[in-house]
């Protein structure tokens, strides 16, 4: 094996040498410029969670701040949009129920949808 390739693979260059700086630059370039698709790392809405389906109807937990302050029609439209982002499929929300805690504060919404 060539001596320079061996040094590169085993990181044997001294710090502050130009070879060391080039290797660090290549690593940083890879980190910052590699496309997300390369790692299949796509952002997901963590505030929308799919629950086990009951009777063929999909159920989703939606955080309250995502649909807060919306009237019922807007809430359905927003829920449909959030589910499409979350699953990549078009769902039709048929019902949205608020979930309350013991102090009657809304903790989230349970959305029922069909594909």
Q: Is the pLDDT of residue 8 over 80?
A: no
Q: Is the pLDDT of residue 1 over 90?
A: no
| Domain range annotation of the chain | 3-38, 48-114
The span from the CA of 2 to the CA of 86, in Å, is 50
Higher pLDDT residue, 42 or 2?
A: 2
Q: Give the list of residues 6+ apart from residue 12 with CB closer than 8 angstroms, or none.
A: 6
For the chain, the straight-line distance linking the first and the last C-alpha, in angstroms and rounded, comes to 58
Percent pLDDT > 90 in the chain is 22
Per-residue model confidence as pLDDT tens digits over 40-71 = 766 654 688 888 877 778 899 999 888 888 88
């Amino acid at each position: 094996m060539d001596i320079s390739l061996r040094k590169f693979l085993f990181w044997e260059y001294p710090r502050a040498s130009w070879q060391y700086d080039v290797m660090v630059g290549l690593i940083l370039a890879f980190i910052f410029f590699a496309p997300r698709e390369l790692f299949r790392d796509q952002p997901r809405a963590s505030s929308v969670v799919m629950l086990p389906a009951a009777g063929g109807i999909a159920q989703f937990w939606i955080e309250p701040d995502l649909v807060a302050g919306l009237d019922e029609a807007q809430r359905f439209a927003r829920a449909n949009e959030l589910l499409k982002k979350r699953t990549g499929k078009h769902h039709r929300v048929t019902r949205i129920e608020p979930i309350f805690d013991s102090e009657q504060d809304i903790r989230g919404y349970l959305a029922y949808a069909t594909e």
